[in-house]
A and B are shown apart, each in its own frame.
Chain A
Amino acid sequence: MSNHTLKELSAQLAAGACSSVELAQDLLNKINKLNKDLGCFITVDEQRTLAQAGAADAQRAAGRASLLTGVPIAHKDIFCTRGWLTTCGSRMLANFVAPYDAHVVERCNAAGMVTLGKTNMDEFAMGSSNETSYFGPVRNPWQHAAVPGGSSGGSAAAVAARLVPAATGTDTGGSIRQPAALTGICGLKPTYGLVSRYGMIAFASSLDQAGPMARSAEDLALLLNVMAGHDARDSTSLQRPAEDYGRDLARPVAGLRIGLPKEFFSSGLAPDVQRAVESAITEYKKLGATIVEVSLPNMELSVPVYYVLAPAEASSNLSRFDGVRYGHRASEYSDLLEMYKRSRAEGFGDEVKRRILIGTYVLSHGYYDAYYIRAQKLRRVIAQDFTAAFSKCDVIMGPTTPTTAFKLGEKSADPVQMYLSDIYTIAVNLAGLPGLSIPCGFDGGGLPVGLQIIGNYFDEARMLNVAHQYQLTTDWHQRKPPGIS
């Protein structure tokens, strides 16, 4: 009963084929069985989940059910969830029980969705493999020796392993799309400002954006309808009329102009990934789309620009963790300064410290203009490249990642190698554009490949339409990892 999409589960609950409590219990049993191997969840709380499911069933019995009432969802452990441990994958917050709900969690709760647990992630969302989590790595359900990607690795692996029909994620440089690609699921990073960042533990505030992860484009649309919306508590939340992101799903894609940036198909792209992405493009041509060559000449600069801006913002955001108001406090110190220093040295892992040091350096006296201001200028150059490209096409397509899932430990020794695995996703965050990833095939070793679809600002409905039409004629999104029922 649990192995269904959101849309199917919604129909089953409405038809009375199962109750929300039965559904939640079934998934909790699965998690109980598989989580030890996969490491997808940091926290599972059966009592809370079942109480919420019971309340959803009561709502339904009272005739007050809406579309997603009683449907389970897992939240990335970056979202404050009242009464739940909210660790952000860090020792710093290993004992932090959130006193309030993130806006995204509030919206899911208000829609009647049932919180199934909190998913594992790279510490403070800094990582591309889920290996920086204080709570241990997540394994890729397709191949346990491989990483699931990151930073939303637990959410991606949980959806791929059918432990939950959908999950929330956050994407600062590719953290929804890259793990979605590496685990064969669908993930959407909305236009910056569409989803409130309130209660989402901040990494790089001008880039962080929450979004849905699920098994089909249809489900992404259902979830984005729930997650998106203005929130006055996030000063960057945009005031726009509510939209139905699923309104265009059925529209044919004949006449769609697909832009292919030549920079997405250059050296460094694995042949198997290139082949799968090109097959997907061929499929779109069959559906009547036309191909336009476009160029994003400064894309390569996106990685260095990102590794100035994101650490700079992180160094500022993470200064709040001082061992005074919440989070880890060292047990031994002689004075206040030492308390700060030891608490932070013990509470943060290596990658987080590295980024705080980079950020502090590029913001420090004498270096601010050479690094931070220069990176902000290049950010505009990169965004302008997209504007020029979108004057010639409706959507941009390419690979989500240069390779399929790499092995655990393969890139953890060299941060630069790890950073370069986000080469195709980072520019989208810098420009603030929406991007999504859907499965489009496998490599020779049976690992999934992701197709990235980038849209113009606020074009989520169009992108979901484009993704859905592909999923009507292909079945990559329905493939399951070996041994998963």
Chain B
Amino acid sequence: MIPYTAFFFNGFFTLIMALKLDDVRRVAHLARIAVDDAEAEAALVQLTRVFGLIEQMQAVDVAGIEPMSHAQDMVLRLRPDVVTEGDQRALFQAVAPEIEGGLYLVPKVIE
């Protein structure tokens, strides 16, 4: 369920969602961004303002309207399943933080 509380603001019927500190921490975890307590609290203040703006959307009736994802409503093209690029591994790995033997190195994930 969406935690809404309704009130009137500037003559518009607006729904403000009460964002909590735990929401910020949860979303930061999903987004893989480390936040400490001070950062989470600062983010809460700013995000609450932004969602105050976003909530204006809830005042409009959208029944029967199809979502629009692309301006031209185009269909994604398919391309032939053929090799188009040569081997550029060395070139592309030149910008990697850590590689060895053509492999990207990351901390051990399986003990």
CB within 8 Å of B: which residues of A? Answer: 95-97, 99, 191-193, 206, 232, 235-236, 238, 298, 300-301, 303-305, 307-308, 315, 319, 322-329, 333-342, 344-345, 348, 353-354, 356-358, 360-362, 364, 366-367, 370-371, 373-381, 383, 414-416, 419, 431-433, 457
B34 touches which one: A322, A341, A370, A375 (CB < 8 A)? Answer: A341
Shortest beta-carbon distance, B37 to chain A, in Å?
A: 14
B95 touches which one: A96, A307, A380, A419 (CB < 8 A)? Answer: A96
Q: Name the A residues within 8 Å of B66 (CB-CB).
A: 377, 380
How many inter-chain contacts with C-beta < 8 Å in the A-B complex? 171
Question: Known contacts A366-B2, A457-B72; can you find 17 more A-B pairs with CB under 8 A?
Answer: A236-B74, A238-B74, A300-B56, A304-B56, A324-B96, A324-B106, A325-B95, A326-B97, A329-B97, A341-B34, A344-B32, A348-B33, A373-B67, A380-B67, A381-B62, A432-B70, A432-B72
**Please, what's the 1-or-0 string for B1-32, where 1 marks a CB less than 8 Å from any CB in chain A?**
11000000000000000000001100111111
B83 within 8 A of A: no
Q: Name the A residues within 8 Å of B35 (CB-CB).
A: 345
Q: Name the B residues within 8 Å of A300 (CB-CB).
A: 56
A99-B95, A303-B53, A333-B107 known; A193+B65 contact, CB < 8 A: no
A367-B2, A383-B68, A383-B71 known; A360+B30 contact, CB < 8 A: yes
Q: Name the A residues within 8 Å of B46 (CB-CB).
A: 354, 415
A342 touches which one: B34, B62, B94 (CB < 8 A)? Answer: B34
B50 touches A336 (CB 8 A): no
Report the Cα distance A432→B39, complex, angstroms.
36
Report the Cα distance A378→B35, complex, angstroms.
33
B32 touches A377 (CB 8 A): no
Give the number of residues in B that approach A within 8 Å (Cβ atoms): 53
Q: Name the B residues within 8 Å of A371 (CB-CB).
A: 54, 57
Shortest beta-carbon distance, B22 to chain A, in Å?
A: 12
B70 touches A329 (CB 8 A): no
B52 touches which one: A96, A334, A416 (CB < 8 A)? Answer: A416
Q: Chain A's interface: helix, strand, loop or mixed, by majority? A: helix
Shortest beta-carbon distance, A309 to chain B, in Å?
A: 9
| 15 pairs from A and B in contact (CB 8 Å cutoff) | A305-B57, A307-B53, A336-B107, A341-B33, A342-B34, A353-B43, A356-B31, A358-B47, A366-B2, A373-B67, A374-B57, A374-B62, A379-B67, A380-B67, A416-B53
Report the Cα distance A191→B72, complex, angstroms.
10
A341 touches B32 (CB 8 A): yes
Q: Name the B residues within 8 Å of A341 (CB-CB).
A: 29, 32-34
A193 touches which one: B49, B72, B107 (CB < 8 A)? Answer: B72
A370 touches B30 (CB 8 A): no
Q: Name the B residues within 8 Å of A348 (CB-CB).
A: 33
Q: Name the B residues within 8 Å of A236 (CB-CB).
A: 70, 74
Q: Name the A residues within 8 Å of B107 (CB-CB).
A: 333-336, 339
Those of B54-100 within 8 Å (CB) of chain A: 54-58, 60, 62, 65-72, 74, 76-77, 79, 88, 91-92, 94-98
Q: Name the B residues within 8 Å of A95 (CB-CB).
A: 95
B2 touches A370 (CB 8 A): yes
A324 touches B97 (CB 8 A): yes
B38 within 8 A of A: no
A238 touches B24 (CB 8 A): no
Q: Name the B residues within 8 Å of A97 (CB-CB).
A: 94-95
Shortest beta-carbon distance, B65 to chain A, in Å?
A: 4
Report the Cα distance A342→B28, complex, angstroms.
11
Q: Name the B residues within 8 Å of A370 (CB-CB).
A: 2, 58
Report the Cα distance A423→B108, complex, angstroms.
48
Shortest beta-carbon distance, B8 to chain A, in Å?
A: 17
Report the Cα distance A328→B24, complex, angstroms.
24
Shortest beta-carbon distance, B97 to chain A, in Å?
A: 4
A375 touches B57 (CB 8 A): yes
A369 and chain B: residue at smallest CB distance: B2
A345 touches B33 (CB 8 A): yes
A357 touches B72 (CB 8 A): no
5 A-B pairs with least C-beta separation = A432-B71, A376-B67, A380-B68, A329-B97, A341-B34
Shortest beta-carbon distance, B59 to chain A, in Å?
A: 9
B88 and chain A: residue at smallest CB distance: A99
Report the Cα distance A232→B1, complex, angstroms.
43
Report the Cα distance A335→B65, complex, angstroms.
46
Q: Name the A residues within 8 Å of B65 (CB-CB).
A: 377-378, 380-381
Shortest beta-carbon distance, A135 to chain B, in Å?
A: 19
A357 and chain B: residue at smallest CB distance: B27
Shortest beta-carbon distance, A100 to chain B, in Å?
A: 8
Report the Cα distance A238→B76, complex, angstroms.
11
A192 and chain B: residue at smallest CB distance: B71
A377-B67, A380-B67, A383-B68 known; A301+B106 contact, CB < 8 A: no
